[in-house]
Each structure stands twice: as C-alpha cells, then as structure tokens.
Structure 1
C-alpha cells in the first residue's frame, strides 16, 4: 500500500506570508500549492482534489468566506482552515457556520498551525476509513454497492426473501442490476451450493427458447443430432433466472406456467415427463400488470411469478450511491487497463452527481470505463466524461433541484445534526467531527434546536 503525501492549498493575497507558510508546510512533509485570491482558489479546487485548504478571510476579488462556500458546494468533504486577524473573529465564526473545519488567528502560532493541520487531515483519514468500512459492510450481499435508504431497503428485502423457496419477480429499468439481485438471492439461499442458471428470454426465438428451457430429443428438429438437457434440468436443485420474462410469447408463457405449477417438464420431441426441483427468479423492465390488462401477458403466469416482488431503484433516485459506485468501477478498470488513476476532479464528480443516468448503473460503469481509457493524467476530469453528461449539466445548471421544495437552512442544519447524533449513538464529539464543526459549535446549535 502506497503512502499518500497530503496536498494542501494555501490561499492568501499576502505573497510573503504565503511563501513562509509554504516553506513551513513543505518542511512538515506536505505538498503545497498557492493561490493569491479566493477566485483562484475556487478554480484550483474544481480541478484538483486537495486534502486540505488553508485560507485567509480578507482578500481581493473573492474573500475567503465566499471561496469557502463555493468550494464546499463542489466538494463538501474537503476540510478548510480559516486564518483571520484577532479583530475579525466574527468572520471566522461565520466561516465555521458555513462548514469550515476550524480557524486560526493571525499572527499564526506555527505550532498550533501544524497541530491543527495534522488533526484536520487525521479527521479526514478516519472519516474515509469509516466510509470504506461501512461500504464493505453494505456491499453485502453479493458485492452490491450502495448506502442509500433505497439500497438498504433492497438489501433487507433480499435478506428476507432469499432463505425461502418462493418465486421472485424483479422489476426495474434496464441497467439497474436485476441480475446482480438475482445472484444475491441465490447466494443467500439454501440452494447456494447448487447451480444458478441464467437465460435471457429476449435473445432467443420461441422455438429456440423452448429447446433452451426444456431440452430436446435427438431428431426432434433439423440439426438436433443428439439429446440435449434443458436449462430447467441444469438448474435442478438450484436456481433458474429468467431475464426479460416479459418478452416471451403467449404460447411459451403457457408452457412455462405448466412447468412452474407441476414442477414437471417435457423435452421437445418427447412424451416423457421429467420432475424438476427449481427455484425460479424472473426479471423484467416492462409493466407486466399493464401487459396483463392488454392481453400480452397471461394473468395466471403473472400471479405465479409475482409471489415475491423486488423493485430495483433507478440510479437517479439514489444519487448518494454514485461516489462509491464510481470509485468501485474506477478501481476495476484502472486495474484492467494497467493505469495508475488517482481519482476524479471535484468538478467531474459534480457532473456525475447531477446527471440523470437514463441507463442507470450500466451507463455509469460504461462512462467510468471510457474515462479511464481516455485518461492521460492522474485525475479524471470533465474532459474524459461522455459529451451527454457535460451537455446535461449545461442544459440543467441546477440539476433536478428546481423541482424540489426548498427547505429552510435552519431545518436542513437541524436534520443534519440529528442524523449525525443518531449515527454516533449520541456521541457529541464524534458527531461534531462528522459534521466538520467543533464540539463547541455543535453544543451551541443544539441549544437553538
């Protein structure tokens, strides 16, 4: 495991002060970049994922407080230290309220500066480790990635359904991971040591699908030069996953219904009945109930399949899962393409979060793979992302927020505090760390709430 040298951005319009701090921090073992006003700091922070930003408050063009708010909008996780004169502590308090990690008064106590930097970086490091641990825990079952409420409900549903032998119908848009869910159900069932067989119903014609599912006898049709066991027999004692079940014909629906009801099949060209023990999982991106009403899908088969239903959420409904998914795919394709990719620029990640992902997780994975292949530097920027993602951001500068009710800032802050306290079991010190504020600030806010 390679050690990471922290990269710090120092922002101050006093050039001599900047130079002194840069020399000190380099002596402490950090990489240091400089910006001489808030606007320059914002531009650099959009392109480079700094580990920490140390900024003065009073500067020309854009002051430190405005820069703080702008940078936090792009990268809420980055710790920012504020430097301010004794006479301007009120600005530092405003900065803390806006998300600054801490503040230091000028003239700087360099020992305190070193200690505060180390504490801020350690806080970020522990937070990252904590998130990674949580991600490992929430990756179960079967490498499913996500920490959103929708994914937690989905995983809870899988945990309840998997141990039974009930038929499962998985519904959701294309690219939402229906096959992965089916694999998770199988992997957490009593049949996990038996085969799981997958059939894409839409990829085969009616005659081929019948042979694929039930098998055929030698000579049953032209080209059938030997007996073939079907997928039902291959899946005996295990699980059969029928993807895109809504695409099969009414005739095949009748034959499938009999197999499910009677637990018996007949090979094509045979009158001999075979008993099978199969747990059936089906998936569709269609509205099967609407197809039942229009006569395209048999009602009796629908109810046989729909014993237990799992609805897969669209990626746009769980945007908080995008960062861990992105990093998972980044590691996967960086390894596959033998590239040392360090990550995404904050602006690139911002674009990924704003996009509505009509192709869901599959589209996200393709976008990351493409970006890794095109990348020539260390960090993936918006230049490596597909044109449609950049265009969407231009056409929708505020994402989908325009359609949402705007909550009062006080209410959002209160909810964030309550959530942090709940996650930390009421530990105010740890809650303050997770919120990126001091314990004193948290206590003051609790008195208001």
Structure 2
C-alpha cells in the first residue's frame, strides 16, 4: 500500500485554504489545514509532513514566524510562503529566513504544482548527484563553499555569486543545480559579456515577429531547471525591468508578443564587477539587485586558497593529459612551490594556460620551474609619476590614475599577445568594458 505524502496548509482565508487543499488532494497528496500559527504548531507536533504552505499574514503572527519555527524544530521540512501580489520585500524576507520558495497571490495552479512536486522530491531523499563535477581543495574556504552549496541546493531562492574572473563561478552554479531537485532538468547558461547587449533581451525572453520565425528564449529552455546568467551587470537597463518582473511574478513575455508564459526557473547570477559601483553609476537597478542577491556566494581568488593549488594543478594537468591521450608528467618540488607562491591574476584560467604551456615544454615527464615560464615580478619603471617628498605624486590625481590604468591595459595586452578577450579576462573586466576604456584612453588605434 502506497503511503500518501502529507502537506500542511496554513491560511486564514477559508476559500483559498480549501482551494489549495483540493488541488493537493487531486495530486494524490493528503492535506491538513490550519487557520493560524497556534493551530499550525499543534498539527506539526502531532503529524509528519513533507511540505508546509503558509500565508505570510496570519491572525496571531506571520509566515516568517512559522518558517523560523520549522527550521528550528523540524529541520529539513520545506516551507513555501504565500505573499500578496507585489510584496517583493516579503518574498525576499521569507527566502532569507529559510523558506524553500514562495507563491504570489492570486495563486496560479501552474506555479503551485511544480513547487509542490519539487518540495516532495526534496523531502523524499537527497538528490542522487551523478555529476562528475567537483570543487577541488581542502582549505577552510573551499570547505565552507561546499557546505554553502549543499544548503543552497535545498532551496529555490535566487543566488548571486561574486568573484574575480576564473574563480569558478560557473562551476559553483552548476554544482548548486546538480545537487538540487532540478538536477534532471536543464541547466542553461548565458555569459552576457560574450554577446551583444542589444541581443540579450531576445536571448533571455525569446522573440515573436511576423517577419521572422518565432524564437525560444533561454527562460523557456530552462523551464523546470536552472538559468545561470554570468556577468549580469552587462544587461541593459530596459531588459533589467523585464528580468525583475520575471523573478517577482514568475511570468515572462516574448519580444513582439502580448501573451504571458508562466515559468518555473531557478535563477543564479554572477559577476566579477563591482555591483555597488554599477548601481551608484545608474547602470544597474537596485531593486533588481535586491531580488538577485537573496543569497550571496563569494568565490575566493586562487591566492586565497594557495594551499589547494598543488591539488588543483595536478587535477587540471591530469584532465588535460587524458584529453590529449599522453602520459601525465609529475611536478618537481620547486615547480609546486613556485605555483603556490605565484599571484595568479587570472586565477584558475591562467593556471590552465600555464599548465598547457608547461606540458609542451617539459622533458622526461617532469615539470620544472623553467617549464612553467611564470611571469617575473615587474621592476618599477620611471613613469614621471615619482612621489614628491610628501609621498604624493607630482601630478593631478585624475591624470595619475589614468596613466596607471593605461599601463595596466598595455601590460595585459602584451601578456596576451594583443588578444583583447584574453586581456579583458586577465584584467577582470568584460570585453565591452575594455573596448570602451581603450577608446576613452586613446589606446584603441595603437592596439588594434
């Protein structure tokens, strides 16, 4: 005999409570209901539930009180909060308090059903992660990130990942997806710095034009799964408005269409840029950032986890050798020491390039320091910006900073063989930003 899963519905509106209970029963789920916080706590003591749905406003408290109570006394029980239409602050507060997800009134059965199904999968067992993806390292910071990823995987809340270029933001996003209840659904990614900004809106939401074939957007492709948007600060302001609505209402509209589509997408975003500066300069909406940054994950630079560099280097080298079907060389002790002490401005991406070069140069299946060809620390050059006796540059500050920026860009271009895309990654900026700075600093003609 199959045991039906049970759900607790908490709402003081009789009609809505009965509608949700009826819907759950039609899904083969036993449902108990409570009209206030005290009744809900009483039922929680007497019964075992796979999911709790609670309204935000209750006669003797609010939904957040129940979320905190369940997290404290019934760890692992998913709680979804029902909020009034347009109550963005309430939804974010609920997710930050530990809610699994949220629903907005008037409740759409198209949104309720996938939420319930995801919560039930979460209650039954841990996801059977079959992915070969792994986050390497034994440092305290890496162990903390692993623990955080495990927690994030048990929620549907938006996640924002910060970190310099090459720190593994995309890997972290995919690990969250692969360890979640959405693991068998699509994981779709978009790097906004790699596409024309004018095309981002159509890419995300799709396009419907009479003169063209209808195009499906990434939100549609990711439906039921996860959408990862990297370098989210590159999204134009007009598109940011549509993205905000997609998060709040879980509905989207294709370009050229007036029809709304309900979506079930877990959103993860990332950036290597300074989000506060982008907001201060009017390039990024503060209300959107508030919705994206419900939970923040910060990926460390490679130098912050120097103790893990030998392990990461060995793994990357083994992976590359297997792809090339060649014998895996070993590192001598001096090479490993040099790698551990190098600053890695390009983080793991730079490490991969260094190892690929070393694999080509090494002899007798042994990688030495000379094979690594690590850039030597640059000696200070006379730039005409020497400090005066007071310790200040003898030049106006804007000109001083501009000269430093010029030199940093020139150095990056020299290191990458004038490859602007690689130079942008090395500098930790988008290709569009580098192109703009080259033009503004009068370097574009010289460097093209």
TM-score band, normalised by the shorter chain?
0.5 to 0.7
Equivalences for residues 406-425 of structure 1 within 5 A: none
Count of residues in Structure 1 that have an aligned counterpart in Structure 2: 251
TM-score normalised per structure 2: 0.54
What displacement does 1:242 show?
0.3
Q: For residues 298 and 141 of structure 1, do their structure 2 counterparts lie closer, same or farther at Cα, with a shift above 3 Å needed?
A: farther
Q: Distance in 1 between matches of 2:171 and 2:309?
A: 17
Which residue number corresponds to residue 306 of structure 2? 319
1:199 alignment partner, SS class? strand
1:264 aligned to which of 217, 235, 251 = 251
2:136 aligned to which of 142, 145, 148 = 145
Q: Deviations over 1:119-147 (max 9, x none)?
A: xxxxxxxxxxxxxxxxxxxxx98311010
Q: Deviations over 1:85-141 (max 9, x none)?
A: xxxxxxxxxxxxxxxxxxxxxxxxxxxxxxxxxxxxxxxxxxxxxxxxxxxxxxx98
Q: For residues 239 and 155 of structure 1, do their structure 2 counterparts lie closer, same or farther at Cα, with a shift above 3 Å needed?
A: same
Q: For residues 342 and 387 of structure 1, do their structure 2 counterparts lie closer, same or farther at Cα, with a shift above 3 Å needed?
A: closer
1:171 aligned to which of 162, 173, 179 = 162
Q: Distance in 2 between matches of 1:387 and 1:325?
A: 17
Q: Distance in 2 between matches of 1:208 and 1:263?
A: 22
Which residue number corresponds to residue 174 of structure 2? 183
Q: Distance in 1 between matches of 2:357 and 2:279?
A: 40
User: What runs of 5+ residues in structure 2 fail to find an aligned partner?
Assistant: 1-130, 381-448
2:343 aligned to which of 346, 350, 356 = 356
Q: Distance in 1 between matches of 2:276 and 2:328?
A: 46
Which residue number corresponds to residue 211 of structure 1? 202
Q: For residues 288 and 393 of structure 1, do their structure 2 counterparts lie closer, same or farther at Cα, with a shift above 3 Å needed?
A: closer
Equivalences for residues 44-443 of structure 1 within 5 A: 142-219=133-210, 224=212, 226-388=213-375, 391-392=376-377
Q: Distance in 2 between matches of 1:153 and 1:141?
A: 20
Contact residue 354 and residue 374 of structure 2 kept, 8 A: no
Q: Cα RMSD over matched residues?
A: 2.0
What displacement does 1:342 show?
3.2
TM-score normalised per structure 1: 0.54
Contact residue 141 and residue 184 of structure 1 kept, 8 A: no
Contact residue 167 and residue 279 of structure 1 kept, 8 A: yes
Q: Deviations over 1:51-99 (max 9, x none)?
A: xxxxxxxxxxxxxxxxxxxxxxxxxxxxxxxxxxxxxxxxxxxxxxxxx
What displacement does 1:286 show?
1.1
Q: Distance in 2 between matches of 1:141 and 1:307?
A: 28
Q: Distance in 1 between matches of 2:365 and 2:230?
A: 39
Q: Deviations over 1:383-426 (max 9, x none)?
A: 211341xx14999xxxxxxxxxxxxxxxxxxxxxxxxxxxxxxx
Contact residue 355 and residue 393 of structure 1 kept, 8 A: no
Q: Deviations over 1:189-222 (max 9, x none)?
A: 11111001001112222331111111111436xx
